[in-house]
A and B are shown apart, each in its own frame.
Chain A
């Protein structure tokens, strides 16, 4: 059993669990840029939250199933058709043999997730199937899927439909308020950042999203010795545009680390697209921890194996 990628959109990769505990080797986390959306898709096909699924940037993709199988689509808002009929995201659907799933270009949000009621065959590196493009690790030969390529599936099933509870449908938007704490290099001259609105530029990938706006002035010779950096960090490279790090972010860096988007809100970063507006809401470490527990509590009943 297999599925064929007729159109991969801007970029289609296989993603599974993040790699944890390997940053000291220079190996980033990878995994879905929006782990909550991927978990919700996997839930609808009876899979673990971090089971291997397909991540498609900006939608605009088409897939053909060569045997009956159930699937679900979540993430960025895109019109969907299955064998020519409109279908909804956040609901389990069952494709017949030869059926095509068409995913229109995303209206809002950045990444669409497709989960399959079956096991997607993928390379494993350090225990994870997640694709890391810069080093061609994991996934489908470590790279993005190309038109006409076939992804092998095992143990496929057709299952009774499920639907994501209404209150757990993530809201995609063109503007985000992200809760953040001060980073280790937050200068006193940056206090105004909490009142500014920033805009995502065209420089966006699974490594990070560039932001333009009123960043503080930091002298270019204020170089920092390389230190650990994590997804959710807002760095300020020379040139005055911020860079907000995502799942594939490098493990160490020397640019000033101004803010850190809190763990509870990092899943949102995977849906930021060029032109979206971002504000940062100032939180303390304790407030960040409280916010994490509060959001986790909302998710646990439907996604018992998922952790933000």
Chain B
């Protein structure tokens, strides 16, 4: 069992390299469905599983993962759900819009319209509860991380960084330049399903001030 795509991630976790997004999410669903792993966590280019060392030794866990992966991942059982999120851009909702405009050389209206033109894909949730990493951003909108992270941004803030878009489900510190904010609740601890977004979903941003 020396599948080069699988490596140890510490003493009780294994990492499967899966750069292709659809493959990665399909593998994550497949591994989640087996119930064999304590955690199945998709990353930006991989899927990491944590195993129960009281159930599998490290070599057994490696062999077991390789056996599961020998079966192709079933295609997604349902069509991708698309979520529309209204967004207030700029001003106090998006304090970095002007700076993003300067850095990209695009007028603010053009930055916004490029963000609205394509559906974004939720790649993964991580960092803090419900924080969504999304891809599908126009290449012109690549900008770097803030030099000084903000101590606090409100829930629903939308940040851009190096070709990704991040949605802050909770208020908290933020290192990404913030372009706008959605008033839609993305995380509600009291709800049956606390998370509005899930990996694999599509997100369409809508300009809340233009409708």
Contacts and interface: CB of A to CB of B under 8 A. Distances in A.
Interface of A: 20-21, 23-27, 125-126, 132, 134-137, 142, 181, 183-184, 225-228, 230, 232-233, 250-253, 257, 260, 262-263, 283, 285-286, 288-289, 292-293, 296, 307
A289 B57 contact: yes
B44 A227 contact: yes
B66 to A, nearest CB: 15
A222 to B, nearest CB: 14
B41 to A, nearest CB: 4
Contacts of A289: 11, 53, 57-58
Contacts of A24: 28, 32, 39-42, 124-126, 199
Contacts of A283: 11
A227 B127 contact: no
A227 B24 CA distance: 12
Contacts of A288: 11-12, 53, 58
A126 B193 CA distance: 10
B39 A21 contact: yes
Q: Which 6 A-B pairs have the closest CB atoms?
A: A260-B10, A252-B126, A227-B43, A228-B48, A225-B44, A288-B11
B125 A26 contact: yes
23 contacts: A23-B39, A23-B41, A23-B126, A24-B42, A24-B199, A26-B131, A27-B129, A125-B189, A181-B10, A184-B10, A225-B46, A226-B126, A227-B9, A227-B44, A228-B46, A228-B48, A230-B50, A250-B126, A260-B10, A260-B11, A262-B10, A263-B12, A286-B59
B128 interface: yes
A126 B129 CA distance: 12
Contact of A25 (B11, B12, B54, B125): B125
Given A230-B50, A289-B58, 19 more contacts: A24-B39, A24-B40, A24-B125, A25-B125, A26-B130, A126-B194, A184-B8, A225-B43, A228-B39, A251-B41, A251-B127, A252-B41, A252-B124, A260-B11, A260-B13, A263-B53, A285-B8, A289-B11, A292-B53
Interface residues of B, number: 43
B7 interface: yes
Interface of B: 7-13, 15, 28, 32, 38-46, 48, 50, 53-54, 57-59, 124-131, 133, 169-170, 172, 187, 189, 194-195, 199
A252 B123 CA distance: 13
A20 B133 CA distance: 21
Contacts of A132: 129
B11 A134 contact: no
Contacts of A250: 126-128
B130 A228 contact: no
Nearest to B190: A125
A227 B15 contact: yes
Contact of A26 (B11, B48, B126): B126
A183 B39 contact: no
Instruction: Name, among B32, B59, B128, B172, the residue most crowded by chain A CB atoms within 10 Å (CB to CB).
Output: B128
Contacts of B32: 24
Contact of B189 (A20, A135, A285, A307): A135
Nearest to A24: B41
B10 A286 contact: no
A28 B189 CA distance: 14
Contacts of A227: 9, 15, 43-46, 48
Contacts of B15: 184, 227-228
A304 to B, nearest CB: 13
B133 to A, nearest CB: 7
A27 to B, nearest CB: 5
A263 B10 CA distance: 9
A134 B9 contact: no
Contact of A252 (B10, B43, B170, B194): B43
Given A20-B38, A135-B170, A230-B50, A25 B7 contact: no
